[in-house]
Copies of this chain bind each other. A is one copy, B any other.
Amino acid sequence: MSAERPTMEDVAARAGVSRALVSIVFRGTAGASERTRERVLAAAADLGYQPDRRASRLSRTRTRMLGVVFGVGHAFHGDLVDSLYAAAAVSDYEVVLSGVTPRRPEEEAVRALLGERCEGIVLVGSALPSTALAELAARLPTVSLLRDVRAEGVDVVRTDEAEGLRQAVAHLHGLGHRHIVHVDGGRAPGAARRRQGYRSAVRRLGLAASPLLPGGLTEEDGARAAGALLSLPPGERPTAVTAFNDRCALGLVDAVRRAGLKVPEGLSVVGFDDIRAASYAHIALTTIRQDADALGRLAIERAASRLDGGRPPGSPVVVAPALVVRATTGAHR
């Protein structure tokens, strides 16, 4: 149905120049006169020529490809992928996606990228054991985005979770809340730091640290935490909650409202992430915003500086979060 795809050779013949010149024109490097450049591009357009990246990557010494492993369908990963694409373009790197899905484990996603000869790899919210990460890092520059790991050679780029929780607690404290509970994320990436941030913030304000409420990272986990919260004797019930993340907060808000408790009048709730849904007018979740743009940019820069600058490891990059006040928090009464 379609004729053989034209190659550089065809374009060269049509433009009456050598293949090398066509290559020069398409790579945009110096060495071709303006007239020839135009002639070549015209010939290419006539033939519908498009350079073959496979061949180009094979012959180039550098592939300038950065692999990105992410959870397909994870809202926040999506925001990060957007930012990674943008940042890579700036540094003249190319992003190659490899998705993790229920049926496609992270190991396989990584293996696929290695076969492509990516020069570096960014793992978004990786769940790989740190030994596996260290092994990876021994082969090529490896950035763990979101997840904090101590693994030889692995660069970490993450949000300052503890600081985020400090801000959340301080915000609630400023509103007059004295009984604040944290809904925990369990073993999810970042959960430990948020937990710890909550505890130290509460302590510093001279409040009593309440036992954690078991939660998780989905709406369902949040709804379950709501059940636990509502079953507490009224006297022991907190007036404010910091949730592990936005989805968890959303589920919790939804469930307590259905039980007749008003938000924020009866309970103030703060999330974490600032996923898109959090900003919807009818939800208007007060939350701790993770700076997806900065996170993505720094992850790429980190990989690029290892590749280009030969700059050595360096300590984890920690991005400051920001409190976004919306409508799920209010004065204590």
Enumerate chain A interface residues (CB-CB to B < 8 A).
Answer: 2, 5, 50-55, 57-58, 63, 72-75, 77-79, 81-82, 85-86, 97-99, 101-104, 114-117, 138-140, 218-220, 223, 226, 251, 254-255, 257-258, 277, 280-283
Given contacts A2-B139, A54-B58, contact A104 B82 (CB under 8 A): yes
In contact, B2 and A140 (Cβ under 8 angstroms)? yes
A223 to chain B: which residues have CB within 8 Å?
280-282
In contact, A220 and B280 (Cβ under 8 angstroms)? yes
**Could you list 24 examples of A-B contacts with CB < 8 Å?**
A2-B140, A51-B115, A54-B54, A54-B63, A54-B116, A54-B117, A72-B81, A73-B74, A78-B101, A81-B99, A81-B101, A82-B101, A82-B104, A85-B99, A97-B97, A97-B98, A97-B99, A219-B277, A219-B283, A220-B280, A220-B282, A223-B280, A223-B282, A251-B282
Q: Nearest Cβ in chain B — how far from A6, in angstroms?
A: 12
Contact of A257 among B75, B103, B257 (CB under 8 A): B257
Chain multiplicity (copies): 2
In contact, B282 and A219 (Cβ under 8 angstroms)? yes
A57 to chain B: which residues have CB within 8 Å?
54
Docked complex Cα distance between A282 and B256 (Å): 10
- The closest CB in chain B to the CB of A263 belongs to B258
- The closest CB in chain B to the CB of A81 belongs to B72
In contact, B98 and A280 (Cβ under 8 angstroms)? no
Beyond the given A2-B138, A226-B282, please list 20 additional residue pairs across the A-B interface where CB-CB is below 8 A: A2-B139, A50-B114, A53-B117, A54-B63, A72-B77, A72-B82, A73-B82, A81-B101, A82-B99, A82-B103, A85-B103, A86-B103, A86-B104, A97-B99, A219-B283, A251-B280, A251-B282, A255-B282, A257-B257, A257-B258
A220 to chain B: which residues have CB within 8 Å?
280-282
A51 to chain B: which residues have CB within 8 Å?
115
- The closest CB in chain B to the CB of A57 belongs to B54
Docked complex Cα distance between A251 and B281 (Å): 10
A77 to chain B: which residues have CB within 8 Å?
72-73
A257 to chain B: which residues have CB within 8 Å?
257-258
Among A50, A99, A102, max chain B CB count under 10 A is at: A99
